Amino acid sequence: MKILKRSIVIAAITTSALTTPLLTGCTAHQQDALFAKVTEIGRDKAGLEKHQTQTIDIEMTYLERKGSGPVVMLVHGFSANKDTWLRFADHLPDDYHIIAPDLAGHGDSPTAESYDLELQTERLHALAATLGIDSFHIVGNSMGGAISTIYATKYSQQLASLTLIDAAGMDGANKSEYFTMLEQGTNPLIATDKDSFEFRMDMVMAKPPMLPWPLRPALVRDTVARAELNYEIFDDMIATRERMSGDDYKQLVDTTVDMPTLIMWGEKDRVLDVSAVKTFKNYIPQAKVEIFEGVGHVPMLEIPKESAHTLTAFISSLELKQQP
**CB atoms inside a 10 Å sphere around CB 23:** 8
Q: DSSP string spanning 95-152? A: T-EEEEEPPTTSTTSPP-S---HHHHHHHHHHHHHHTT--SEEEEEEEHHHHHHHHHH
CATH class of this structure's domain 48-318: alpha beta
Predicted confidence (pLDDT) at residue 32 exceeds the cutoff of 80: yes
Categorize the per-residue pLDDT at 25 as very low, low, confident or very high, splitting at 50, 70 and 90: low
Q: How confident is the model over 166-187, as a mean pLDDT?
A: 96
Which amino acid is present at 243?
A: R
pLDDT at 1: 37
Rounded to the nearest 5 degrees, what angle is found at the Cα of 283, between the Cα atoms of 313 and 245?
Answer: 120
Q: State the amino acid at position 315 in one-letter form.
A: I
Residue among 81, 141, 124, 183 at smallest CA distance from 292: 141
Q: Average pLDDT for residues 4-19, to the nearest whole number?
A: 41
Window from 35-44, 238-247, 306-315 with minimum mean pLDDT: 238-247
